[in-house]
């Protein structure tokens, strides 16, 4: 898969939002719209949802030691792993600093094992250690994680 930074994909390969020609603004807007709708539905109908952040603690170290190209390839591979492990209803947003995963109708208690398996797979598959770490994101924290666009 050829992707651009800040891409937005559904975990399903042929899903509508997988268009890699989308601009950064479109990807962010779509992700915000989908998560916003999910939060409203969650609140109104008492449905659960989970937002997962995958951070790369050693990204700067990899950039300095191996260069931007190796870092970009490793992040693209990590993104492919994430997409391969998720359901077709989950959305993935690749930002400059993190990968955000929106999982509708998923209780946070159900995500411990899958997100640990996901991180283990990223760590064991990539040629370089990006220091991948996963954490749950509270709805209040989401606006801080989503880059603002002009």
pLDDT tens-digit map of 82-138:
988 888 888 888 888 889 888 888 787 877 888 888 999 999 999 999 999 999 888
Domain membership flag for residue 2: no
- Dump pLDDT digits (tens) for 46-93: 888 888 999 999 999 999 999 999 999 999 999 999 988 888 888 888
Q: How many domains does the chain have?
A: 1
The pLDDT of residue 27 is 76
pLDDT at 25 over 50: yes
pTM above threshold 0.75: yes
- For the domain that residue 47 is a member of, what is the CATH number? 3.30.70.270
Can you spell out the DSSP letters for the chain? Answer: ----TT-EEESSTT-GGG-TT--HHHHHHHHHHHHHHHHHHHHHHT--EEEEEEEETTHHHHHHHH-HHHHHHHHHHHHHHHHHHS-TT-EEEE-SSEEEEEEET--GGGSHHHHHHHHHHHHHH-SS---EEEEE--HHHHHHHSPP--
- Residue 149 included in any domain: no
Residue 3 lies inside a defined structural domain of this protein: no
Q: How many other CB atoms are found less than 10 A from the CB of residue 86?
A: 21
Structural domain of 48: 8-143
Is position 133 within any domain? yes
- Position 81 in a domain: yes
Q: Cα(96)–Cα(75) distance, rounded to whole angstroms?
A: 10
**Quick check: 3 pLDDT over 70?**
no
Distance between CA atoms of residues 56 and 129, nearest Å: 9
Q: Which of 20-24, 28-32, 71-75 holds the top average pLDDT?
A: 71-75
Does residue 56 fall inside a structural domain? yes
pLDDT of residue 16: 34
In a domain, 1, yes or no: no
């Amino acid at each position: 898969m050829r992707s651009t930074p800040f891409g937005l994909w559904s975990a399903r390969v042929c899903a509508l939002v997988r268009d890699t020609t989308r601009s950064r603004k479109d990807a962010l807007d779509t992700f915000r719209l989908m998560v916003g709708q999910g939060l409203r539905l969650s609140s109104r109908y008492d449905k659960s949802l989970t937002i997962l952040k995958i951070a790369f603690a050693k990204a700067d170290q990899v950039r300095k030691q191996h260069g931007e190209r190796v870092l970009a390839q490793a992040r693209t591979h990590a993104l492919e792993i994430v997409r391969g492990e998720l359901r077709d209803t989950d959305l993935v947003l690749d930002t400059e600093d993190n990968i955000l995963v929106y999982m509708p109708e998923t209780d946070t208690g159900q995500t411990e094992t899958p997100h640990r398996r996901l991180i283990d797979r990223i760590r064991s598959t990539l040629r370089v250690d990006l220091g991948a770490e996963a954490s749950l994101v509270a709805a209040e924290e989401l606006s801080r994680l989503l880059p603002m666009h002009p």
